[in-house]
Amino acid sequence: MEHITPEGLGAPPSSTGLGQEIYALAERLFPICRSITGDGVRQTLDILSGHVDLERREVPTGTQVFDWTVPKEWNVRSASIIGPDGQTVLDFADSNLHVVNYSVPFKGVLPLNELMSHIHTLPEQPQLIPYRTSYYAPTWGFCMAYDGVAKMPDGLYRVEIDAELKDGSLTYGEYLHRGQTEREFLLSAHICHPSLANDNCSGLALLATLAKSMKARKTRYSYRFLFAPGTIGSIAWLSRNEGRTHLIDHGLVLSCLGDAGRPAYKRSRRGDAVIDRAMAHVLGREAGAKLMDFSPYGYDERQYCSPGFNLPVGMFQRSVHGTFPEYHTSADNLDFIKPEYLEDSFRILTDVIDIVEGDWTPLNLCPKGEPQLGKRGLYAALGGQASSGATSMSLLWVLNLADGQHSLLAMAERSGLSFRELAAAAKMLSDHGLLAAAS
Amino acid sequence: MEHITPEGLGAPPSSTGLGQEIYALAERLFPICRSITGDGVRQTLDILSGHVDLERREVPTGTQVFDWTVPKEWNVRSASIIGPDGQTVLDFADSNLHVVNYSVPFKGVLPLNELMSHIHTLPEQPQLIPYRTSYYAPTWGFCMAYDGVAKMPDGLYRVEIDAELKDGSLTYGEYLHRGQTEREFLLSAHICHPSLANDNCSGLALLATLAKSMKARKTRYSYRFLFAPGTIGSIAWLSRNEGRTHLIDHGLVLSCLGDAGRPAYKRSRRGDAVIDRAMAHVLGREAGAKLMDFSPYGYDERQYCSPGFNLPVGMFQRSVHGTFPEYHTSADNLDFIKPEYLEDSFRILTDVIDIVEGDWTPLNLCPKGEPQLGKRGLYAALGGQASSGATSMSLLWVLNLADGQHSLLAMAERSGLSFRELAAAAKMLSDHGLLAAAS
Amino acid sequence: MEHITPEGLGAPPSSTGLGQEIYALAERLFPICRSITGDGVRQTLDILSGHVDLERREVPTGTQVFDWTVPKEWNVRSASIIGPDGQTVLDFADSNLHVVNYSVPFKGVLPLNELMSHIHTLPEQPQLIPYRTSYYAPTWGFCMAYDGVAKMPDGLYRVEIDAELKDGSLTYGEYLHRGQTEREFLLSAHICHPSLANDNCSGLALLATLAKSMKARKTRYSYRFLFAPGTIGSIAWLSRNEGRTHLIDHGLVLSCLGDAGRPAYKRSRRGDAVIDRAMAHVLGREAGAKLMDFSPYGYDERQYCSPGFNLPVGMFQRSVHGTFPEYHTSADNLDFIKPEYLEDSFRILTDVIDIVEGDWTPLNLCPKGEPQLGKRGLYAALGGQASSGATSMSLLWVLNLADGQHSLLAMAERSGLSFRELAAAAKMLSDHGLLAAAS
């Protein structure tokens, strides 16, 4: 069957270059030492601004955002451990995972056993550096490969973390693609993780690329792209935009979108929002895709779906965070993500946007019996064959369910046909005067 | 357990002769060349009128029925292809499938390659003649076994289709068995297919035999038996009876009811109508039976379930149309249907009618605790045995659910017991003054 | 993860001695010949009164209780069959199952074939004596092992059943543990079976032990413990307490709770009562446990769930009555029940009581975004690890669902976490001022 792409539905992404483009952007973001505040976030937003006109927000240290207070701004210049023999055991310049994120500054000489209480390792993945944070409990620490620690001799170690915690601000960026209406589709990615490629350079790069691609498109919804630090960032955004969250009709949190895992979607707390149904429809056509119920652990959907907001926001990823061995380790590097998976994630996102944009509720203007499709050239001329073709089935389903109670998405759910086919059929029928929009 | 047949419930069909009777009628219908109009339909109605007093309707060519116009009447007298050697390659007298149904008349001499564009075959079933129609696109054509075509030498062929398309009428027949109320049960079979035994001589013969058997029965519902050409016929009927479709409480479209396949039911568009539940109950007790959701492709349920009507009409068949190899070919002949399957289909239909007729909503007049069944002779005298008998279970279920909210059918659905057993139990309890009808 | 037992939730039963205590009580009850009336019931209540202050009710013969009449009181002193050779073939003193319960008195000499029509056996379990009753059909009879009957020679037998049927009363006992409110949890066990250990010495002993253990506990609900003969006893109780059945919020019928079978619960007629959900939650954590829909055959749930009451009362047992070979035979003896299974059943009951007592509907006082758990010491200090601990998940789920629409039980159902964990989390959050009770 020939695929008909109705006007107004986005074309499928070309497979030439788009994945490479997203990957290249992720590659640029990877080396930066990000945290929930600080210059790493600003550098990241600088790079993203090359793709999309971000508005940058600075929320000063000490600002109350709901139950939280914006912390002091953290920056780290360097950090190292020098062994008893004067050899450098650890250098922050080698990996920005080496320092516990938000470590307080420290300089001193310690015996090994005392130092060890400040070193985090992964004994079961002895060659990997873990990623650890301590945003709100003032402490200092290092993260190292377990194999490296095992080789450290007894003796005194010179330790320095040249970090700074000072009054400053929390930074986030947002971009609003204005559609025909004020109703919004929120797309949100966390910007706070240091050199972790999948979590979440992939999400940041994908979101910026999507934002860029939307510029050329006229849409019904307005699309808000939010690049903010996890938890405190989305809470800050919600706090500053509390009066307009009622405009959000759909939303997705994006994370871990570049690995080889099959696409996975975690439903919003509501469970039956249009975004939940649209994602279920798209992923229902992807072999091995996973659909999961909401749970209050994960990314910023935790905040958007808190009971005081309960927004229709789900979470899209590939391998599920916390379940793959590379998660929050130095193995989540640029080898772990691939252009083809980034492109596949991009395509799923645009498919979902196509549904949200293209959905409508038709009314059959000829509802008593079937209209005669043949005289309109909409039906195979010769009858008697065993099955009606796919196009004919789409036409028949749309006509049958166009009672003003079924959106095209609801028709797709009931018929098992794809939204795309049904939208094309509805377009054909409208063009022949057989459908109107239900009021 | 002894089966108790309550008064008012139909006795199960005797296995002596009924299947043979239906088969014999199908056998008489088989040779006629039917179409959506024409004398073949009238001859068919003539034969059926020997079983049931049909009212015959003639709807003139050109009559507007909703979006459709009744076409010219089609009749064919003869048709043939004579080969270059003067041998008869094809003769309509051999099989009325040989001519594309609704072919325009044609007479001429053509070279083989030109003739071939008018010949339809089934290369994967090379010995079978396909069934093809072209009601609304004026063309002519032949249907042949692929093996026969392969033997046709090059050369000039003399071709004639002595058919006629003229102003006339579309014909259908109906019979109304009047019950105590005006509320109707619609039973509809298509009368337009030529020599295809299962599709639908089986349905026509079954329906006429059922109509005949209903004459002797006092019923609550009125039963309308409709023998009409597919699509245009049901649309014509709906158009002429638009004001009384609200009286239809239950309905079934009948087709393909004589083959060895297990019974299959396609739900109405509503999905939860009483007819859907009653058919599910009956087929739930038939090993291998199939229950399918509504879809807008099939037989005249497409029209009855169009959104402007949305009638509670499902479709009953055995092997599902379009899925068995004999479908719409010359192999759908009198060897393909058997008396025992026709009789089995008949029994299922009467079981469903028994449910619709016998269903009611009882109210337990002794609802606080169980009534003492023993003192009324309704309970096994000796206690302590591991299980209550089937009759006792029926009594207990009816008493327990007789809160005025559960019909007997709902009780059957919840308890897993058969409607027949529960109806018998309800009758017993009523006779003992323990139940009344819920108002 | 450390288990936190919040105040107000009962401690799990100690495994030292409790099962033995219940077993010892069942052992004392076992030898007594009980029936639906008579001194056996009174002796049983005497023994139970040693554990709990039972109020004893006597309902006189002839009293109308709904559709039923309290029968004459039955007592049996002795019964025997003496063979043609003067040997004692059967002596009631050996087993009180030997006499059909409620046999009329009889004395006479009969030939074997006539006697045989009064003897009940189990040919498929030839060494076991069946348990049979005939409460409302006046007859006499004996129950014997089939093997014993096979050895009886032809000849005349001297037969005597020294039983008495006289105006008297039906006896039942009840105990009300008063809680903070008048709302009741009804726990009901049948007291009418003679020497059958599982059915229902186990239930009687368990219920008395539970009643005793509740004395020391302050509860929200009042707990009514009912020890009454099956069917007529619960009907008599309902009849005398009709005006207060609306106070019953939860209820369980207890039977067969001492055997090795896995726990089983039959839902109330409502199917979704809190007791149904609480039992489903507890048994959902027991490997091999069975959940069954309501059916109107079983124990006194038949009466409590009759449509005139439709109380939220389910039935708790282990091996399902009527399905195990020992059921209603002499093999249901003290070897068939074990202290560990009685104790396990006790624990399940207290778990369910803990849920009913500990359930409440919290309201998140900080519902916009997550509250900052870290600053309250409620969150792991170091972030970045792959999963949140179990305690953290409980806290997050409670906060997320505390919209005033979810009880803790509903949260347990949605989250898959245990009620106990969620209750502990809700307590923590309340203590930190983050939750209030929804009005």
Residues 6+ apart with CB under 8 A from B130: A384, B97, B120, B121, B122, B143, B328, B329
How many other C-beta atoms lie within 10 A of the C-beta of residue C272?
A: 10
CA distance C410 to C278: 10
- Return the partners of chain C (3 or more C-beta pairs < 8 Å): A, B
Residues 6+ apart with CB under 8 A from A364: A399, A400, A402, A403, A434, A435, B306, B307, B308
Amino acid at residue number C253: V
List every span in chain C annotated with CATH 1.10.10.10. 362-437
Report how far Cα B120 is from the mean position of its chain's Cα atoms.
28
Q: Which residues of B are less than 8 Å from C137 in CB distance?
A: 374, 381-382
CA dihedral defined by C295, C297, C302, C305, rounded to 10 degrees? 10
The architecture in CATH of the region A77-166 reads 3-Layer(bba) Sandwich (3.50)
For CA atoms C111, C113, C119, C124, the dihedral sign is positive
Q: Which residues of C are less than 8 Å from B384 in CB distance?
A: 101, 130-133, 328
Interchain CB contact of C234 with B (< 8 Å): yes
Residues of C at the annotated binding site? 193, 199, 328
How many other C-beta atoms lie within 10 A of the C-beta of residue A131?
A: 25
Residue A44, pLDDT score: 98
> Does the distance separating the beta carbons of A381 and B134 come in below 8 Å?
yes
Structure tokens at A299: 């990314």
Mean pLDDT for the stretch of residues B2-10: 35
Which residue has tokens 């090993």? B287
CA distance C37 to C39: 7
Cβ burial of A186 (10 Å; 0-12, 13-18, 19+) is buried
Q: Are A403 and B307 in contact (CB under 8 A)?
A: yes
Q: What is the CATH number of domain C18-70+169-358?
A: 3.40.630.10
Which residue has tokens 């019979």? B175
Q: Are A426 and A361 in contact (CB under 8 A)?
A: no
The yes-or-no verdict on residue C170 having pLDDT over 80 is: yes
Residue A382, pLDDT score: 63
Structure tokens at B178: 């009047």
Instruction: With cut-offs at 50, 70 and 90, classify the pLDDT of residue C261.
Output: very high
Q: Are A46 and A363 in contact (CB under 8 A)?
A: no
CA distance B353 to B278: 9
pLDDT, one tens digit per residue, over C99-128 is: 999 999 999 999 999 999 999 999 999 999
Report how far apart the first and last C-alpha atoms of chain C are (Å, whole number): 33
Structure tokens at B415: 């308890």
Q: Are B170 and B230 in contact (CB under 8 A)?
A: no
Report how far Cα C429 is from the mean position of its chain's Cα atoms.
36
Exposed e or buried b for every residue in C323-332, given b needs 16+ CB within 10 A? Answer: ebebbbbbbb
Cβ burial of B297 (10 Å; 0-12, 13-18, 19+) is middle
CA distance C157 to C160: 10
Instruction: With cut-offs at 50, 70 and 90, classify the pLDDT of residue A15.
Output: low
Q: How many residues does chain A have?
A: 439
Instruction: With cut-offs at 50, 70 and 90, classify the pLDDT of residue B7.
Output: very low
Mean pLDDT for the stretch of residues C275-294: 97
Nearest to A140 by CA among A105, A111, A165, A94: A105
CA distance B263 to B316: 7
How many other C-beta atoms lie within 10 A of the C-beta of residue C299?
A: 25
Q: What is the CATH number of domain B74-166?
A: 3.50.30.90
CA distance B234 to C256: 62
> Does the distance separating the beta carbons of B67 and A400 come in below 8 Å?
no
Helices (H), A151-231: 203-214
Residue C16, pLDDT score: 61
Report percent pLDDT > 90 for chain B: 91
CA distance B79 to B106: 9
* Chain A: residue whose CA lies nearest to C395: A296
Q: What is the mean pLDDT of chain B?
A: 94
Residue C241, pLDDT score: 98
> Does the distance separating the beta carbons of C328 and B374 come in below 8 Å?
no
Interchain CB contact of C288 with A (< 8 Å): no
Helices (H), A75-217: 112-116, 146-150, 203-214
Residue C294 three-state SS = coil
The yes-or-no verdict on residue C426 having pLDDT over 70 is: yes
The yes-or-no verdict on residue C145 having pLDDT over 60 is: yes
Helices (H), A2-105: 18-29, 39-49
pLDDT, one tens digit per residue, over B82-133 is: 999 999 999 999 999 999 999 999 999 999 999 999 999 999 999 999 999 9
Residue A404 three-state SS = coil
Nearest to A301 by CA among A292, A293, A311: A311
Q: Which residues of B are less than 8 Å from A397 in CB distance?
A: 295-296
Q: What is the mean pLDDT of chain C?
A: 94
Which residue has tokens 């240091």? A194
Q: Which residues of C are less than 8 Å from A134 in CB distance?
A: 381-383
Residue C377, pLDDT score: 87
Question: Is A335 marked as binding a ligand?
Answer: no
DSSP letter string over C35-62? -SSSHHHHHHHHHHHTTS-PEEEEEETT
Q: What is the mean pLDDT of chain A?
A: 94
Question: Is A118 marked as binding a ligand?
Answer: no
Q: Which residues of A are less than 8 Å from B296 in CB distance?
A: 370, 393, 396-397, 399-400
CA distance B176 to A173: 74
The yes-or-no verdict on residue A390 having pLDDT over 90 is: no
Helix, strand, coil content of chain C in percent (nearest 5)? 30, 25, 45
For CA atoms C124, C125, C129, C134, the dihedral sign is negative
For CA atoms C163, C166, C170, C173, the dihedral sign is negative
Interface of A with C in 134-163 (CB under 8 A): 134-137, 139
The yes-or-no verdict on residue B10 having pLDDT over 80 is: no
How many other C-beta atoms lie within 10 A of the C-beta of residue C116?
A: 13
Which residue has tokens 């009580």? C25
Exposed e or buried b for every residue in B143-170, given b needs 16+ CB within 10 A? Answer: bbbbebbeebeeeebbbbbebebeebbb
Which residue has tokens 């047992």? C317
> Does the distance separating the beta carbons of A307 and C383 come in below 8 Å?
no
Which residue in B103, B306, B313 has the most chain A C-beta atoms within 10 A of its own C-beta, making it the best mutation to test that interface? B306
Cα separations (Å) of A371 from A368, B12, B184, B297? 8, 42, 26, 14
Mean pLDDT for the stretch of residues C147-170: 96
Residue B3, pLDDT score: 32
pLDDT, one tens digit per residue, over A290-345 is: 999 999 999 999 999 999 999 999 999 999 988 999 999 999 999 999 999 999 99
Nearest to A185 by CA among A275, A248, A246, A243: A248
How many other C-beta atoms lie within 10 A of the C-beta of residue C136?
A: 17
Residue C14, pLDDT score: 47
Q: Number of A:C CB contacts under 8 A? A: 97
From the list A368, A384, A403, which residue is nearest B130 (CB)?
A: A384
Instruction: With cut-offs at 50, 70 and 90, classify the pLDDT of residue B439.
Output: confident
Cβ burial of C112 (10 Å; 0-12, 13-18, 19+) is middle
Q: What is the CATH number of domain A18-70+170-358?
A: 3.40.630.10
The yes-or-no verdict on residue A288 having pLDDT over 50 is: yes
Q: C437 forms bridges with which residues in the sheet?
A: C362
Q: Number of A:B CB contacts under 8 A? A: 95
Residue C386, pLDDT score: 67
**Range of lowest pLDDT (B318-322, C48-52, C63-67, C388-392):** C388-392
List every span in chain C annotated with CATH 3.50.30.90. 74-166
List every span in chain A annotated with CATH 3.40.630.10. 18-70+170-358
> Does the distance separating the beta carbons of B305 and A400 come in below 8 Å?
yes
Q: What is the CATH number of domain C362-437?
A: 1.10.10.10
Q: Which of B12-21, B377-386, C327-336 has the highest mean pLDDT?
A: C327-336
Residue C439, pLDDT score: 78
Residue A115, pLDDT score: 97
User: Could you report the predicted ipTM of this complex, rounded to two decimals?
Assistant: 0.93
Q: Which residues of A are less than 8 Å from C377 in CB distance?
A: none
